[in-house]
């Protein structure tokens, strides 16, 4: 009995220590890995795939949630629906909640990105890497800049999503196997947080709220269908699962064509929306006069400072926003943000100062509970065809999302 009790305590201590151990499924001894590019997925994951009705080389999708520092791998089952097969605790991401806007702002991307086989970097100095594809068509249409933003190992980030080497070895293997199976593009969905009604209310005063409402449309589409949405861009906005009724091409900066939504999907989203609206009203009552304070990168690092002891200097984990942030009164939030803005301006004005990303101002008014129309990015990972050139008039020779939806 004592031995069992001691073992339980030891396991709990292990789960609560370190940067990634709580969700670390990758326990490979890297010193024994002979070929990291072809390292197979561990047997326990292959067993889970079999139990869930997944083929080893079936399509995948990647989801990121900054606030809780989580990365998820979703994989297609034999019924063409996706199910979660693995999740990881992100070791480090820089900046704060909100999209990347320009080179040097230290922000990690938010949005919908298509990853091709060319995005895999087997020779990264950060063990292994997958380029996020930033900037995509939406980013480019909105004048956003930046390059070489990766998912990589080494647990050190400056605009990237950094994992442990063991984790990125596994994530790389998921993508590699999917590409070998014929998947043309893997969809990466990067969100600031899980877009529940409660989270939307908590963040309703953030200056990025309108952008997040747009992303939420794509989030909702996946929650309803459990398939990566078809993503396009027009009028500098993302649009999801929309069919151009006149056969026109989507132009990122141009006017949106006449569009329609598959009837079955419209009905499913309406039902989902009713539940969301009710939950939003409850959350508004629960958090009346309160809003979320989004911590700075320095504040997130402070909560995990102890984990750096005894590690190499390059090891730079960041805690989650949930650990370092908090709910505050609206007046207090406005005061905190005003101070942060003043500090940022002072730092930028100092001689030889490093550019500081501008603070995100609170929104002047709370936006509507239900997201407005439309969002952005790329091809459906279910399409096993060569990627379509951006902004061409030629139709893509692949089954669109709505045909899969209608069939199933």
CA distance 273 to 230: 20
pLDDT digits (tens, 9 = 90+) for 149-205: 999 998 988 889 999 999 999 999 999 999 999 999 999 999 999 999 999 999 999
Nearest to 73 by CA among 125, 135, 10, 130: 130
Question: Measured between alpha carbons, how far is residue 239 from residues 65, 134, 231 in Å?
Answer: 21, 18, 6
Contacts of 10 (CB under 8 A, 6+ apart): none
Average pLDDT for residues 337-358, to the nearest whole number? 67
> 19 φ, ψ to 5°?
-80, -40
Average pLDDT for residues 353-364, to the nearest whole number? 46
For tokens 């490093």, the residue is 354
Contacts of 28 (CB under 8 A, 6+ apart): 39, 42, 166, 169, 170
User: Annotated catalytic sites, by residue?
Assistant: 152, 160
Q: What is the model's pTM? A: 0.81
315, 156 in Cβ contact below 8 A? Answer: yes
Radius of gyration of the chain (CA): 22
Nearest to 61 by CA among 43, 77, 50: 77
Taken in order 109, 357, 68, 90, the sign of the CA dihedral is positive
Of the two residues 407 and 258, the one the predictor is more confident about is 258
167, 194 in Cβ contact below 8 A? Answer: no
CA distance 119 to 128: 11
What residue spans of 73-149 are helical by DSSP H? 137-141
pLDDT at 117 over 90: yes
Report cis status (omega within 30 of 0) of the bond before 325. no
- Read off the pLDDT band of 398 (50, 70, 90): very low
What pLDDT, on a 0 to 100 scale, did the predictor assign at position 397?
Answer: 36
Percentage of the chain exceeding pLDDT 70: 78
Task: Provide the 3-class DSSP secondary structure of residue 308.
Answer: helix
pLDDT digits (tens, 9 = 90+) for 28-51: 889 899 999 999 999 999 999 999
pLDDT at 359 over 70: no
Residue 213 buriedness (CB in 10 A; 0-12 / 13-18 / 19+): buried
Residue 32 buriedness (CB in 10 A; 0-12 / 13-18 / 19+): exposed
Q: At 282, which helix (H) or strand (E)?
A: helix 263-286
Task: Provide the 3-class DSSP secondary structure of residue 144.
Answer: coil
pLDDT at 334 over 90: no
Question: Measured between alpha carbons, how far is residue 133 from residues 108, 114, 168, 232, 238 in Å?
Answer: 12, 7, 17, 15, 16
| pLDDT, averaged across the chain | 83
What pLDDT, on a 0 to 100 scale, did the predictor assign at position 351?
Answer: 64
150, 172 in Cβ contact below 8 A? Answer: no
75, 60 in Cβ contact below 8 A? Answer: yes
Task: Provide the 3-class DSSP secondary structure of residue 355.
Answer: coil
- Read off the pLDDT band of 271 (50, 70, 90): very high
pLDDT at 24 over 80: no
What pLDDT, on a 0 to 100 scale, did the predictor assign at position 315?
Answer: 87
149, 157 in Cβ contact below 8 A? Answer: no
pLDDT at 250 over 80: yes
């Amino acid at each position: 009995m004592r031995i069992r009790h001691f073992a339980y305590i030891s396991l709990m201590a292990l789960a609560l220590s370190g940067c990634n151990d709580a969700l670390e499924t990758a326990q490979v001894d890297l010193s024994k890995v002979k070929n990291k590019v072809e390292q197979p997925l561990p047997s326990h994951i292959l067993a889970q795939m079999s139990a869930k009705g997944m083929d080893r080389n079936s399509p995948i999708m990647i989801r990121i949630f900054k606030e809780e520092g989580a990365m998820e791998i979703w994989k297609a089952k034999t019924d063409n629906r996706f199910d979660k097969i693995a999740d990881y605790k992100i070791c480090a991401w820089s900046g704060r909640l909100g999209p990347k806007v320009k080179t040097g702002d230290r922000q990690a991307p938010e949005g919908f990105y298509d990853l091709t086989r060319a995005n895999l970097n087997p020779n990264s100095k950060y063990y292994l890497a997958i380029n996020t594809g930033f900037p995509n068509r939406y980013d480019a249409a909105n004048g956003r800049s930046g390059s070489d933003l990766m998912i990589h190992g080494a647990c050190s980030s400056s605009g990237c999503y950094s994992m442990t080497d063991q984790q990125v070895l596994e994530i790389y293997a998921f993508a590699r196997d999917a590409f070998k199976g014929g998947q043309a593009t893997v969809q990466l969905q990067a969100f600031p947080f899980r877009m529940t009604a409660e989270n939307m209310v908590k963040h309703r005063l953030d200056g990025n709220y309108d952008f997040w409402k747009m992303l939420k449309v794509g989030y909702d589409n996946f929650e309803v269908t459990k398939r990566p949405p078809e993503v396009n861009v027009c009028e500098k906005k993302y649009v999801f699962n929309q069919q151009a009724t006149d056969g026109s091409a989507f132009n990122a900066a141009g006017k949106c064509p006449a569009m329609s939504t598959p009837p079955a999907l419209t009905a499913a989203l309406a039902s989902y929306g009713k539940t969301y609206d009710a939950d939003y009203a409850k959350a508004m009552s629960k958090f009346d006069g309160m809003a979320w304070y989004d911590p700075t990168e320095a504040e997130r690092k402070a909560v995990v400072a102890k984990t750096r002891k005894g590690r190499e200097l390059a090891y730079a984990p960041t805690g989650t926003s949930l650990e370092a942030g908090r709910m505050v009164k609206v007046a207090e939030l406005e005061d905190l943000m005003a101070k942060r803005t003043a500090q940022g301006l002072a730092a930028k004005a100092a001689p030889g100062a490093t550019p500081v990303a501008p603070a995100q101002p609170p929104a002047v008014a709370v936006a509507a509970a239900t997201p407005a129309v439309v969002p952005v990015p790329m091809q459906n990972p279910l399409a096993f065809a060569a990627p379509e050139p951006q902004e061409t008039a030629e139709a893509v020779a692949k089954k669109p999302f709505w045909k899969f939806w209608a069939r199933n």
